[in-house]
Amino acid sequence: MVSRVIPAQPFDLVIFGGTGDLARRKILPALFRRFCAGQMDPQARVIGAARGDLDDAGYRDFARAAIGEFDDDVCCAAEHLDAFLGQLSYVTLDARGDEGWGALSALLDGADRIRAFYFSVGPGLFGDLATRIEAHGLATPDARVVVEKPFGRDLASARALNAELARHFDETQIYRIDHYLGKETVQNLMAIRFANTLFEPLWNSQYVDHIQITVAESGGVGTRGGYYDKAGAMRDMMQNHIMQLLCLTAMEPPAKYDPHAVRDEKLKVIRALSPAQLGDVVRGQYEGTDSLPSYRGEVEDQDSTTESFVAVKARIGNWRWAGTPFYLRTGKRLRARASEIAVVFKDAPHSIFGSDAGRHRNILTIRLQPNEGIEMGVTIKEPGPGGMRLIDVPLDMTFSEALGPDADLVPDAYERLIMDVIRGDQTLFMRGDEVEAAWEWTDPIIDAWEASNTPPCPYATGSAGPDDALALMHRDGRRWREIKP
């Protein structure tokens, strides 16, 4: 059963960059789905603000087309869509100049309601927007700003962004999005760990052999080549999404589920990470096939040394995890699109069944995509006569099956996160110090790559990544889990 929908208070949400790709693909469809779910007050307003010359009607057409293209859901009876579009308006505005700010002020003026500014623009404009929001008196005491990834490209730039935002807004007003934190299964990770007595006593180096976190994509860089080639897998995925998954998996139980307590515990995990040795990091770049271009072909730079794959053996230096490595990997053009966290428990201390019974381990797998769910591998007797032979079978709970038709009603990451902004709940957003700590750990790895000037290891499209990544595990007597859809 899906929990009840709590209507949000009336709000004004200004989407700077309201005509961009992110607004089109994610923000507007997410808002529409919340509208259909009854969570968006009829008085709420969504104001697109961008450079393009549009009027309200033009923006509504833009939103209609976006929702038609990207909302594959079925909630959109025509009258719903028209009612939703009626709550949209548009201001032509320049983040770097004066154009449009008077019109935006006039629109917002006097409205006594929650106010949120979504910075769906490149980070180079965050400071300009923040300055002008303040200069035009639009920053009400509890106004919120939402900023997108990438939050910097290294520690220095992240610090500069934090400082820039801090000049105009309090940390309690800043919502740094990592959409992985809005995923249902990611939050479920906390529920599994902290609402069940079953797992927590085993959740440590005494019982856990190692943990694998995989975020595999089957697609290449596609149309994002320009951006991606300047970032690479380390900056695009490891520093933020995988780091967040690592934190939620490894953190101590917070005293309560609130933004300060949860983020304090996540920060402690990042700070406890030992500096990664270069030998514990593998970077790769995909090759092409007869029908698909290579990474270099896709980004149109035959000399590019940007990594489309990275694997890291990370160590957390604290009492809970000393001796239990975390193997992290992410990449593009891998065998399948599959993301999971696998907690691999240690062997039973003594096998009463003798060596013929083979080696069996419990593995708890939290699947983030596809088929969100949880699987517990348990060892049982192989049925039939002929002695005691053991096999591993899964106790499998796919959420869509467990929840039935209600599973379709679960809000997607952007829906949940936008509504959390309106509610003023920062729990699922990254705090400034967390982001900086994550860069502090990744910067030396990137610097060492750049200094070594070695190209990434090539790997075949549709594989599990470069051979060196397999070796990273093999040398420890372990192996990666299969990447399967």
Task: Tell me the CB-side half-sphere exposure of residue 183, using CA atoms within 13 A.
Answer: 21
Nearer to ligand NAD, 52 or 293 (CB): 52
Cis bond before residue 253 (omega within 30° of 0)? no
Q: Which residue is nearest to ligand NAD (CB)?
A: 20
Nearer to ligand NAD, 15 or 344 (CB): 15
Query: 343 with 211: CB under 8 angstroms?
Result: yes
Nearer to ligand NAD, 20 or 182 (CB): 20
360 catalytic per annotation: no
CA distances from 347 to 92, 113, 151, 256 (A): 63, 57, 41, 33
Query: 259 with 425: CB under 8 angstroms?
Result: yes
Q: Give the H/E segment covering residue 345.
A: strand 338-345
Nearer to ligand NAD, 21 or 82 (CB): 21
DSSP 242: I
Of these residues, 241, 260, 350, 474, which one is catalytic? 241
In the three-class reduction of DSSP (H, G, I as helix; E, B as strand; rest coil), residue 368 is classed as strand
Give least dist CB 134 to ligand NAD, A. 16
Q: With helix as H, strand as E and coil as C, how does 99-163 read?
A: CCHHHHHHHHCCCCCEEEEEECCCHHHHHHHHHHHHHCCCCCCCCEEEECCCCCCCHHHHHHHHH
Query: 482 with 363: CB under 8 angstroms?
Result: no
Give least dist CB 95 to ligand NAD, A. 3
Q: Give the pair of three-digit tokens for residue 126.
A: 């965050």
The per-residue b/e assignment along 81-115, b for 16 or more CB within 10 angstroms, e otherwise, is: beebbebbbbbbbebeeeebbebbeebbeeeeebb
Nearer to ligand NAD, 223 or 291 (CB): 223
In the three-class reduction of DSSP (H, G, I as helix; E, B as strand; rest coil), residue 342 is classed as strand
C-alpha 202: how far from chain center: 26
Query: 211 with 326: CB under 8 angstroms?
Result: yes
Give least dist CB 125 to ligand NAD, A. 6
Nearer to ligand NAD, 66 or 139 (CB): 66
Cis bond before residue 385 (omega within 30° of 0)? no
Nearer to ligand NAD, 53 or 303 (CB): 53
Q: What are phi and psi of 26, to 5 degrees?
A: -120, -55
Q: At what angle do helices 432-452 and 259-272 cross, to 10 degrees?
A: 20
- Surface-to-core class of residue 52, CB atoms within 10 Å of its CB (0-12 exposed, 13-18 middle, 19+ buried): middle
Give least dist CB 147 to ligand NAD, A. 8
Handedness of CA 77, 79, 82, 84 (dihedral sign): negative
Which residues are CB-neighbours of 408 under 8 A, at least 6 positions away? 73, 400
Nearer to ligand NAD, 95 or 114 (CB): 95
Q: Where does this chain bind ligand NAD (CB under 6 A)?
A: 17-23, 25, 50-52, 93-96, 120-123, 125, 148-150
Query: 222 with 321: CB under 8 angstroms?
Result: no
Give least dist CB 120 to ligand NAD, A. 5
Give least dist CB 358 to ligand NAD, A. 45
Nearest by Cα to 149 from 69, 265, 227: 227
Give least dist CB 119 to ligand NAD, A. 7
Nearer to ligand NAD, 100 or 325 (CB): 100
Q: How far apart are CA 199 and CA 341, in angstroms?
A: 15
Residues that are catalytic: 241
